[in-house]
């Protein structure tokens, strides 16, 4: 598939002015395809000029330009060349399109709980031509008039306000100018909850089998929606302008959510089935606030080309946590940002495929897609926090308002945003932007106590910042330092530090700290280097540190230590065993095992891994014993216990729905965790899996059954699972992911070694039928990371020398290979 070049997009935008789209979709023609009729009105600024149309159809029935027919055989791949264009043009295309199974384009899913079908449009980044003929680039915005024919028991939602004009016929009101990748249509027998806020009709929608869960959870969803509306309206000074506001929780969604104006789509795992915690609700609330911020920043003002789209995500990521902290009950949102989002971004920064936040000029759309990662989201949001520290919040908000007002319903570039900030602050930000946004890499921050007053007490400290040798930069860091003894904060100080310029911090101290933490409030983006005394004290003292952000910083430093092979993974495991069961933040408690689990297991010898799992099961049991039955902490602990214990009696009871902890009695996911663990241990098989599946005939149950069957330690199970993943079996994006997570198990290394070479042969070929967005995730999950050997690394290097890898597969391999190298370095240094 040809990816749109930046130069092509620039030339087409210079030639054309698109004034409107009229799109009709007929979704009542079968389960495999739908009919699409597109009418595009546009003008050609240079009559006689040539350009091309984007179209990815199964069959093209007719094409006319100003009523003159164009032969469909002129289509080359996804492009139709248009020549000798008149000044005013009306182009119409009638075509048959295919529903997708990979989450891109118009995705169709079946809920086996009731046999009902659901459709949703996800047109990011370049999937719009799979739905309608268009000029597919972000800076050719235009209004849309959309009509839809659908089965009579379906509802239809989209960017415009929906009206049912007759049975099975729907019209969406004319939209504001939209980029092609924001267009969506959601259709199916969705169930809905409606409300209104300040004159804006609100709708929340989900598939019918989740109706009970929606009714119970909709009040909270609507509450945070209204709180976010109010906060943004006050902050931005520009009203929401997209009519009704619908939030549709759709099945098999590749991302967390998509900011389609007026009709945001979310993964439907955010409508929780079974047990869930406040932390889960906070994550969903953050996503709601994030997508709503895009209504202004991204939708109303759209970046001109994909390489600036990081700014949309960085801004929405920052705003979502700011909004939760300022306008909702979730005052702990910045703790969540630190332990969840920043650690994701730190992981990306550690890989060879890291890039500057402002990632440089992407030559084509496909390469730009590779930069939507933890740098674009978490690092960008962290940098915006540093910008506010540099120019002040008042100037920041004034700059946002000016930027939105100047480019309302149009396109802009990063330079326009930076210019608005310079004008509002009266500060030249070019050097700041060069250091923070245009240079990749993480500085390393350390602190030492160096002066005592006449009474022998510490009176100052020195903060040092080291810039990466291969990516030097002169970044200002606004950081604080804190020291802790027991549960007391015995030392505090704050400074601005620069690379290569040690900064003296005047500290307020009341004692000698056991744990000394630079960047203790987690305000900057940096690697933290803990002094040896602090490292040694962590098993006994980390749990008593009273500040949540400081504990987040320490856990991040330990994870970095494992990645860089500078800290023995066994020491990190000891810290986990002593500190984690006593953790007081639910967010940290729930997140740390996910972050530390795979890196620690892969960095120790195979014969040590079962002992580490047993220790984690013991830690989970400690938390269960320590907390009130049914508490959120107990739910987190029970899930970890089910994934790590070797107590087969307990696992069998839980898989049967017996003896379950309070609050999990009707939770299907805990039963799946238990039976899957039994399968991994060789203590259960298809009969036990089918028994659980019989009680959970839902989309989630179907996927969990696939994962459990792929987890079996037998040649037959692995052969079946690999065939299901890597051959064109019609599996959806989610089914592929669940099969992959079951396939690779660290305890099954000998069984899996033959699949190392097969990964490098079979997975790249999947590009023929799996879209890049979905394929990158599949390629990540199917990488043979449990086989931590030099031979696996050599096989990865040989594959990366190929020239036929798609960008998604190459990115996944590069990053996974670097994690493999981390584990090998750690084994070499510490395994003896």
39-83, pLDDT tens digit by residue?
Answer: 999 999 999 999 999 999 999 999 999 999 999 999 999 999 999
- Which DSSP letter does residue 350 get? T
**766 lies in the same domain as 824:** yes
Residue 254 lies in a domain: no
Q: Residue 736 and residue 745: Cα distance in Å, rounded? A: 16
Q: Indicate the length of the chain as a whole number.
A: 832
Classify 272 as helix, strand or coil. Answer: coil
Residue 668 lies in a domain: no
**415 lies in the same domain as 512:** no
Domain boundary among 134, 164, 194: 164
Total of domains in the chain: 4
Instruction: Check if the beta carbon of residue 205 is closer than 8 Å to that of residue 249.
Output: yes
**338 lies in the same domain as 463:** no
Residue 571 lies in a domain: no
pLDDT of 422 higher than 90: yes
Domain boundary among 409, 436, 463: 436
**1 lies in the same domain as 86:** yes
Q: Which residues pair with 17 in a beta bridge?
A: 43
Would you state the structure tokens that stand for residue 24, as one six-digit string? 């009709």
Show the 3-state SS of 41-79. Answer: EEEECCCCCCEEEECCCCEEEEEEECCEECCHHHCECCE
Would you state the structure tokens that stand for residue 616, as one six-digit string? 């984690």
Torsion, Cα of 549, 552, 556, 557 (10° steps): 70
508-545 residue pLDDT tens:
998 889 999 999 999 999 999 999 999 999 999 999 99
Residue 452 pLDDT:
64
Angstrom CA distances, 406 to 17, 399, 456, 513, 790, stand at 20, 11, 59, 51, 56
Q: What value does the mean pLDDT take over residues 733-758?
A: 95
Domain boundary among 415, 436, 457: 436
pLDDT band at residue 3 under the 50/70/90 scheme = confident
Indicate the angle between helix axes 699-710 and 668-680, nearest 10 degrees: 10
**725 lies in the same domain as 766:** yes
Would you state the structure tokens that stand for residue 657, as one six-digit string? 């729905």
**743 lies in the same domain as 818:** yes
pLDDT of 455 higher than 70: no
pLDDT band at residue 781 under the 50/70/90 scheme = very high
Instruction: Check if the beta carbon of residue 55 is closer than 8 Å to that of residue 80.
Output: yes
- Continuous segment of H or E residues that includes residue 24: strand 16-26
Residue 283 pLDDT:
97
**493 lies in the same domain as 450:** yes
Q: Residue 563 and residue 727: Cα distance in Å, rounded? A: 34
Show the 3-state SS of 678-724. Answer: HHHCCCCCHHHHHHHHHCCCCHHHHHHHHHHHHCCCCHHHHHHHHHH
86-133 residue pLDDT tens:
999 999 999 999 999 999 999 999 999 999 999 999 999 899 999 999
Q: Which residues pair with 172 in a beta bridge?
A: 146, 162
**30 lies in the same domain as 130:** yes
| β 16-26/245-250 pair status | unpaired
Instruction: Check if the beta carbon of residue 508 is closer than 8 Å to that of residue 491.
Output: yes
Q: What value does the mean pLDDT take over residues 813-827?
A: 95
Q: Residue 139 and residue 16: Cα distance in Å, rounded? A: 11
**142 lies in the same domain as 12:** yes
pLDDT of 268 higher than 70: yes
Peptide bond connecting 76 to the previous residue in cis, omega within 30 degrees of 0: no
202-258 residue pLDDT tens:
999 999 999 999 999 999 999 999 999 999 999 999 999 999 999 999 999 999 999
Q: Cβ of 58: how many Cβ atoms within 10 Å?
A: 12
Instruction: Check if the beta carbon of residue 333 is closer than 8 Å to that of residue 302.
Output: no
Query: How far, in whole angstroms, is CA 629 from its chain's centroid?
Result: 32
Q: Cβ of 616: how many Cβ atoms within 10 Å?
A: 24
pLDDT band at residue 459 under the 50/70/90 scheme = confident
Lowest mean pLDDT of 335-344, 423-432, 497-506, 585-594, name the range.
497-506
Residue 553 lies in a domain: yes
Residue 313 lies in a domain: yes
**36 lies in the same domain as 145:** yes
682-739 residue pLDDT tens:
999 999 999 999 999 999 999 999 999 999 999 999 999 999 999 999 999 999 999 9
pLDDT band at residue 831 under the 50/70/90 scheme = confident
Q: Residue 322 and residue 316: Cα distance in Å, rounded? A: 10
Active-site residues, by number, are 291
Peptide bond connecting 125 to the previous residue in cis, omega within 30 degrees of 0: yes
Q: Which residues pair with 122 in a beta bridge?
A: 105
CATH number at residue 426: 1.10.390.10
Q: In whole numbers, what is the pLDDT of the chain averaged over residues? A: 95
Strand ranges (DSSP E) for 123-208?
144-149, 155-158, 162-166, 169-172, 185-188, 191-197, 200-206
**556 lies in the same domain as 517:** yes
Q: Residue 125 and residue 132: Cα distance in Å, rounded? A: 14
Q: Residue 242 and residue 161: Cα distance in Å, rounded? A: 9
Domain span at residue 804? Answer: 714-832
pLDDT of 470 higher than 90: no
**532 lies in the same domain as 481:** yes
Residue 370 pLDDT:
74
Residue 736 lies in a domain: yes
548-588 residue pLDDT tens:
999 999 999 999 999 999 999 999 999 999 999 999 999 99
Task: Find all residues with CB under 8 Å of 345, minimum gap 6, and list them.
Answer: 373, 374, 375, 377, 378, 379, 382, 525
Nearest in space to 301 (alpha carbons), one of 244, 381, 246, 236 = 236
Q: Residue 379 and residue 400: Cα distance in Å, rounded? A: 19
Query: How far, in whole angstroms, is CA 784 from its chain's centroid?
Result: 22
Residue 207 lies in a domain: no
CATH number at residue 77: 2.60.40.1730
Residue 552 pLDDT:
98
Residue 502 pLDDT:
87
Residue 461 lies in a domain: yes
Q: What value does the mean pLDDT take over residues 367-381?
A: 87
CA atoms within 13 A on the CB side of 296: 27
- Which DSSP letter does residue 207 get? -
């Amino acid at each position: 598939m040809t990816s749109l070049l930046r130069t092509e997009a620039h030339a087409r935008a210079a030639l054309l002015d698109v004034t409107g789209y009229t799109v009709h979709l007929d979704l009542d023609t079968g389960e495999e395809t739908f009919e699409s009729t597109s009418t595009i009105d546009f003008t050609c600024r240079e009559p006689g000029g040539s350009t091309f149309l984007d179209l990815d159809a199964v069959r093209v029935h007719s094409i006319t330009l100003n009523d003159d027919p164009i032969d469909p055989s002129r289509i080359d791949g996804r492009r139709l060349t248009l020549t000798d264009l008149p000044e005013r043009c009306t182009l119409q295309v009638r075509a048959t399109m295919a529903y997708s199974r990979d989450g891109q384009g118009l995705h169709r899913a079946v809920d086996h709980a009731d046999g009902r079908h659901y459709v949703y449009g996800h047109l990011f980044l370049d999937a719009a031509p799979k739905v309608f003929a268009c000029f597919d680039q972000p800076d050719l915005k235009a209004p849309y008039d959309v009509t839809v024919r659908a089965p009579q028991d379906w509802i239809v939602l989209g960017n415009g306000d929906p009206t049912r004009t007759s049975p099975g016929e729907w019209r969406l009101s004319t939209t504001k100018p939209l980029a092609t990748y924001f267009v969506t249509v959601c259709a199916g027998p969705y169930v809905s909850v409606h409300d209104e806020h300040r004159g804006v009709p609100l709708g929340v929608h989900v598939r019918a089998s989740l109706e009970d869960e929606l009714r119970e959870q909709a009040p909270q969803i609507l509450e945070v929606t209204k709180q976010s509306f109010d906060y943004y309206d006050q902050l931005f000074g520009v009203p929401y302008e997209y009519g009704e506001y619908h939030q549709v929780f759709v099945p098999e969604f590749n991302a967390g959510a998509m900011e389609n104006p007026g009709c945001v789509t979310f993964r439907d795992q955010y409508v929780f089935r079974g047990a869930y915690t406040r932390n889960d609700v906070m994550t969903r609330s953050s996503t709601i606030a994030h997508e709503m911020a895009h209504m202004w920043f991204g939708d109303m003002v759209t970046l001109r080309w994909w390489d600036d789209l990081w700014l949309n995500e960085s801004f929405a990521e920052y705003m979502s946590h700011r909004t939760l902290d300022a306008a909702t009950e979730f005052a702990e949102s910045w703790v969540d940002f630190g332990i969840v989002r920043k650690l994701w971004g730190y992981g990306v920064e550690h890989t060879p495929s890291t890039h500057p936040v402002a990632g440089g000029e992407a030559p084509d759309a496909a390469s730009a897609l590779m930069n939507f990662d933890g740098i674009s989201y978490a690092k960008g949001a962290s940098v915006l926090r540093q910008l506010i520290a540099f120019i002040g919040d008042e100037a920041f908000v004034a700059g946002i308002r000016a930027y939105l007002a100047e480019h309302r319903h149009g396109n802009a570039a990063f330079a326009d945003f930076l210019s608005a900030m310079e004008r509002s602050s009266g500060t030249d930000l070019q050097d700041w932007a060069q250091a923070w946004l245009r240079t990749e890499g993480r500085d390393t921050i350390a602190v030492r106590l160096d002066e005592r007053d006449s009474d022998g007490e510490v009176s100052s400290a020195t903060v040092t910042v080291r810039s990466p040798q291969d990516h030097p930069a002169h970044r200002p860091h606004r950081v604080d330092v804190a020291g802790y003894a027991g549960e007391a904060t015995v030392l505090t100080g704050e400074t601005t530090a620069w690379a290569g310029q040690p900064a003296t911090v005047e500290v307020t101290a009341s004692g000698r700290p056991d744990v000394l933490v630079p960047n203790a409030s987690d305000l900057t983006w940096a690697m933290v280097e803990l002094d040896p005394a602090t490292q040694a004290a962590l098993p006994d003292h980390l749990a008593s540190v009273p500040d949540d952000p400081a504990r987040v910083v320490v856990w991040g430093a330990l994870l970095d230590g494992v990645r860089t092979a500078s800290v023995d993974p066994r020491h990190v495991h000891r810290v986990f065993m002593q500190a984690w069961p006593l953790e007081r933040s639910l967010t940290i408690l729930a997140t740390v095992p996910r972050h530390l689990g795979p890196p620690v297991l892969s960095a120790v010898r195979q014969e040590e891994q079962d002992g580490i799992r047993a220790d984690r099961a013991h830690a989970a049991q400690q938390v269960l014993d320590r907390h009130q039955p049914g508490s959120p902490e107990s739910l987190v602990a029970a899930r970890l216990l089910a994934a790590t214990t070797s107590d087969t009696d307990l696992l069998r009871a839980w898989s049967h729905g017996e003896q379950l902890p309070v609050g999990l009695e009707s939770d299907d996911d805990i039963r799946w965790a238990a039976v899957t663990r039994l399968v991994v241990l060789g203590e259960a098989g298809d009969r036990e899996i089918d028994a659980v599946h019989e009680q959970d005939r839902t989309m989630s149950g179907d996927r969990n059954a696939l994962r459990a069957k792929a987890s079996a330690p037998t040649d037959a199970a692995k052969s079946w699972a690999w065939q299901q993943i890597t051959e064109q079996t019609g599996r959806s994006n989610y089914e592929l992911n669940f099969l992959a997570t079951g396939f690779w198990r660290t305890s099954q290394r000998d069984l899996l070694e033959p699949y190392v070479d097969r990964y490098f042969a079979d997975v790249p070929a999947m590009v023929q039928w799996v879209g890049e967005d979905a394929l990158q995730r599949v390629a990540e999950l199917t990488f043979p990371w449990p086989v931590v050997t030099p031979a696996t690394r050599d096989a990865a290097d040989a594959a990366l020398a190929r020239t036929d890898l798609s960008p998604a597969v190459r990115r996944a391999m590069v990053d996974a290979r670097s994690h493999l190298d981390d584990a090998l370095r750690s084994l070499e240094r510490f395994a003896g």
